A and B are shown apart, each in its own frame.
Chain A
Amino acid sequence: MKVRMTVNDKTEEHDVEDRQLLVHFIRETVGLTGTNIGCDTSSCGACTVLLDGESVKSCTVLAAQADGCAITTIEGLANSDGTLHPVQQAFHEHHGLQCGYCTPGMVMAAVSLIAEHGQLTEAEVREGLEGNLCRCTGYHNIVKAVLAASGSEVHA
């Protein structure tokens, strides 16, 4: 079937298989590989993107279901002049990433969390990100980065 949506403000119109997941559409059809796949049970959140501004695990959505929607992936987050989005910048400053594989999903989830709640507490960040798994950082610096990006003060 034919689907049409915007991905990072660019219109994408493609014929897709009925069974194609949004994450495969993004990675294979559109060719944006920043969005990663880390499991096959919608547990890890590595594939998190924004769908009409809200975070969604793109492995839980069929490409067909996203017809007519606006998708934002990690590639669409930084400014066109290359300046990092505040959440990306906070991850950099607080060493919120190591291997980087969970990072795109984690950043997108954090962007959505902050957009929804504004300034966050540590407990809110930890609860809010529980659908995104990281194996490298122990979450400590991710939490710090998200707190900082939300405008909260952070300690060591």
Chain B
Amino acid sequence: MADAGSILGNAVMRLEDPELLTGAGRYVHDLESPGAARVVFVRSSIAHGLLRSVDVDGARGMPGVVAVYHAGGDDLGLMPFQSFPMLAESFNRPVFARDRVRFVGDIVAAVVAETGPQAVDAAEAVVVEIDPLPVVVSQEAALASEAPLLFPDHGSNVCFATSFGEDEDPLEGAEVVAEVAMVSQRLAGVPMESNGCLMVPGDPPAGITCWISHQAPHSVQPALVGVLGLEPEAVRVVCPWVGGGFGPKAAVYVEFLVAAAAALQLSRPVKWVETRSEDMVALVQGRDYVMNAKLGLTRDAKIVGLDANVVASGGAYPALGAVLPMLTQMMVVGVYDIPKVRFQGATAVTNTTPVGAYRGAGRPEATQLIERVLDVAADQMGVDPAEIRRRNFLDPAAFPLTTITGGAYDSGEYAKALDAALVAAGYDELRSEQARRRAAGESVQLGIGVSAYVEVTAPLGLHTEYGAVEVHEDGTASMAVGTSSHGQGHHTAFAMVASDVLGIPMDKIRLVNSDTAAVPRGSGTLGSRSLQTAGNAVLAASQVVLVRARQIAAHELEASPDDIVVGEGGVHVAGMPGRTVLWEQVAAASRDASRLPPGLEPGPLRHEGDFDGTNSTFPFGAHVSVVDVDTETGKVTMRRHIAVDDCGRILNPLLVRGQQHGGIAQGAAQALFEWVQYDGDGNPLTTNLMDYAIPAASELPSFEASNTETDSPRNPLGAKGIGESGTIGSTPAIQNAVVDALSHLGVRHIDMPCTPERVWQAITDATREAQR
């Protein structure tokens, strides 16, 4: 725990708020640049087809049109783009579709005009001829023999595969086998601010500044450098305020490449403002797994082995989403001691929007897989869902440990979180109420769903990060980090850390991030990695700055550095605050050789470094969902949601709570509401916020979120990520609750989203089956 008097661990209100609450914060869409032209994309309305012709003559003559780009004409010299380095180059995406279109939304042409409306009008005038080809919508269809190939040169629709424990039958010796086939349906990220960019050439000279709405500017910068053929220092990428990301805004978009290349060619700024309906086909989507799980157990409900199979859809041009079955494989054992595992994962390309990372990214799928099959086993064996989990938890004494599937878990006390959740829920009373409603045959039944989860944050090698701290001659400080805040409250969180070390008030500490010209390197904000990486980098840099400050002040005060402590406005000899050397003075002295002790070089009062957490961290927790299910209509109403999430030591409970709430809502959204759908021809059916049902306030309850705190040993702050836990824990708890409400009727499984239609159908099917 933090020392007495420390700010750490307190619910400190956000420094970010005043600007955002008054409308002063500027998002990319709000930025203007003199002379900026607007680019609008002409997208394929056919899911799969041969591109016969693109006639842009009509568009060229339209009012205000500056340029039209497409593969058959001026294509800006853009080479096919590789979305993720682990994938075969044969899946590279032609920036402008060449001989073939592969999804509704594929870019056929781009129109640049003086104004947005002119660009829209001209884009309408581009005439595209496409001969439709047979369409592959689902991953199962993509893997069928004789399936049409999206990339005939590659020879297969499989773009990624991963497996574990292939040779052994993990169910050998099992006395009971539970099996469930399930779907983690495709979701859209829907950040409230859609995608967009403003590319401004000539700044730096002979270069370009790229304003983008993004989570990871340092990942976009090298992609732009490569494509534009400029020196790295000539390409500056900046994210202003960003209106939500949730994973999809961590991808590099070909739209950025087009806008930047056009801006350079035309020597004028080019802006792209994505519309929502465009966003619903162009922004990478999430999930889309078809899964099967078989769990072997002994008669006393101890797990013997797990046999799991997942097939993911990568969409038309595979990206990060295609390799996520790798993370699913690692996390598939969850919080349980599972002696034997067989896992087979594959990803197929389909004629749909590409799949990327979306809040959870590979871990919600793993958690759903194990948590659903455990509930099926519990139901089958007549064991309470909480009890079956308790019997199989990994032993807290065994940490740190590496699981059979390679998860290097740092710390965990899974029973503690589950017990806390059960107590908070009043689990036994809920079960009594459920029994009462069942006995009474009430039309609205009570469902109680339990999940216990562990997830991985700062995954995929993303556990190092850059951070710098400087105290300036005006007494303020600044922190530069390689993460990229877009709603998480990093300014507040990191300022708490620096302020705790240096004693400088938080409102005098600036955050510099999201700008490749101001921060030399970074991996951005994704995978719930920011506090544990950049937060610790800020901590380390602050501490080094303090060491220097103490040396400087000790020299000035003719004291020993060991006796110098932080005080009001500066540093002083312990017990003698009357002779404080103000931060202004320390910072000035730091640059002045005449005021420095021997051995110190003059320079800014600053330190930069890279924090290395050595590995990922593994947050965990337990959720209890309480739902009403109307057996006559199939409607599910969330009554309560209890979440106990352990993200290590908590820096700011206000921010943690906010992440829990948002995560739970997005988990509930998958369990009950959202589903990106296509018809049989690959036409997307959910391309706006009327057809794609992100939940409103009226559809959710208030949440009962709390925490246990189990330090991570992998970083001095003891922190683990919290961004995705709510989503990972809540989804299977809610799905389990819906099934639990109906298990006495014979319902064994309902796929997500558990819509009234599906729930009603499941009840009807089970009732018919029972009557046979």
Q: Which residues of A contact B (CB under 8 A)?
A: 27, 32-41, 43-44, 46, 73-75, 77-78, 84, 88, 91-93, 95, 97-104, 107, 122, 125-127, 129-144
Residue A99 contacts which of B487, B657, B726 (CB distance < 8 angstroms)? B487
Chain B, residue nearest A84 (CB):
B21
Which single member of B24, B29, B193, B703 contacts A138 (CB below 8 Å)? B703
Known: A33-B30, A135-B694. A43 touches B689 (CB 8 A): yes
Q: Which of B291-314 contact A (CB under 8 A)?
A: none
The answer on a CB contact under 8 Å between A122 and B658 is: no
A127 engages B698 (CB within 8 Å): yes
Known contacts A34-B23, A126-B698; is-contact A138 B243 (Cβ 8 Å): no
Q: Are A44 and B22 in contact (CB under 8 A)?
A: no
Asked, given contacts A103-B20, A140-B702, whether A98 binds B689 with beta carbons under 8 Å apart, the answer is: no
CB-based contact A135/B244 at 8 Å: yes
Is B79 on the interface with A (CB-CB < 8 A)? no
Task: Known A99-B486, A126-B697; judge A43-B688 contact (CB<8 A).
Answer: yes
Q: Determine if B696 is an interface residue (Cβ-Cβ < 8 Å).
A: yes
B638 to chain A, nearest CB (A): 11
Q: B725 contacts the other chain (Cβ, under 8 Å)?
A: no
Q: Which 8 residue pairs are nearest across A and B when measured between Cβ atoms? A: A34-B23, A101-B243, A138-B665, A100-B20, A99-B487, A33-B30, A43-B689, A74-B23
Contact residues in A for B665 (Cβ distance below 8 Å): 137-140
- Among residues of B, the one whose C-beta sits closest to the C-beta of A108 is B23
B212-232, CB < 8 A from A = none
Chain B residues in 8 Å Cβ range of A27: 30
Q: Which of A38, A73, A84 contacts B194 (CB 8 A)?
A: A38
Q: Which residues of B contact A84 (CB under 8 A)?
A: 18, 21-22
Contact digits for B1-39, partner A, Cβ 8 Å, 1 yes 0 no:
000000000000110111011111111011000000000
Please tell me which one of the listed residues B13, B194, B244 contacts residue A93 in the complex, with CB atoms under 8 A apart: B13
Does A98 lie within 8 Å of B487, measured CB to CB? yes
**Closest A residue, CB atoms, query B276:** A39
Asked if B22 and A34 sit within 8 Å, CB to CB, the answer is: yes
Residue B265 is within 8 A (CB to CB) of chain A in the complex: no
Whether B21 and A88, one on each chain, are in contact in the complex, defined by CB atoms closer than 8 angstroms, is yes
Q: How far is the CA of A46 from the CA of B276 in the complex (A)?
A: 12
B contact residues around A104 at 8 Å (CB): 23
Query: Chain A residues with Cβ under 8 A from B275's Cβ?
Result: 40
B21 neighbours in A (Cβ, 8 Å): 74, 84, 88, 91-92, 97, 100, 103, 107
Q: When the two chains form their complex, are residues A35 and B23 in contact, meaning their CB atoms are under 8 A apart?
A: yes
- Majority SS of interface residues in chain B? loop
CB distance from B675 to the nearest CB of A (A): 16
In contact, B22 and A78 (Cβ under 8 angstroms): yes
Q: Which of these, B243, B661, B726, contacts A100 with CB under 8 Å?
A: B243
B80 to chain A, nearest CB (A): 31
For B211, the chain A residues whose CB sits under 8 A away are none
Separation in Å of the A24 CB from the closest CB of chain B?
Answer: 9
Q: Is there a chain A Cβ closer than 8 Å to B367's Cβ?
A: no
CB pair B22 A74 closer than 8 Å: yes
Output the least CB separation between A30 and chain B (Å). Answer: 12
Instruction: For the complex, give the distance between the alpha carbons of A32 and B702 in Å.
Output: 34
CA distance A88 to B21 in the complex (A): 6
Q: Can you add 20 more A-B contacts, CB < 8 Å, to A88-B21, A92-B14, A100-B17?
A: A33-B26, A38-B194, A38-B243, A41-B689, A44-B276, A84-B18, A84-B22, A92-B13, A93-B13, A99-B193, A99-B243, A100-B21, A101-B191, A107-B21, A129-B697, A135-B244, A139-B697, A140-B661, A140-B702, A140-B703
Report Cα–Cα, A131/B275, bound state, in Å: 19
B651 CB, min distance to chain A CBs, angstroms:
14
Contact flag A136-B696 (CB < 8 Å), given A34-B23, A38-B276, A73-B23: no
Within 8 A of A (CB), among B643-679: 654-655, 657-658, 661-666
Within 8 A of A (CB), among B698-750: 698-700, 702-703, 705, 726
Docked complex Cα distance between A27 and B696 (Å): 26
Instruction: Please report the C-alpha to C-alpha distance between residue A46 and residue B243 in the assembled complex, in whole angstroms.
Output: 11
Residues of chain A with a CB closer than 8 A to B696's CB: 129-133, 139
Report whether B697 and A99 are in contact in the complex, using a CB–CB cutoff of 8 Å. Answer: no
Name the interface residues of B589-647: CB closer than 8 Å to any CB of A.
Answer: none
- What residues of B have a CB within 8 angstroms of the CB of A39 in the complex? 276, 688-689
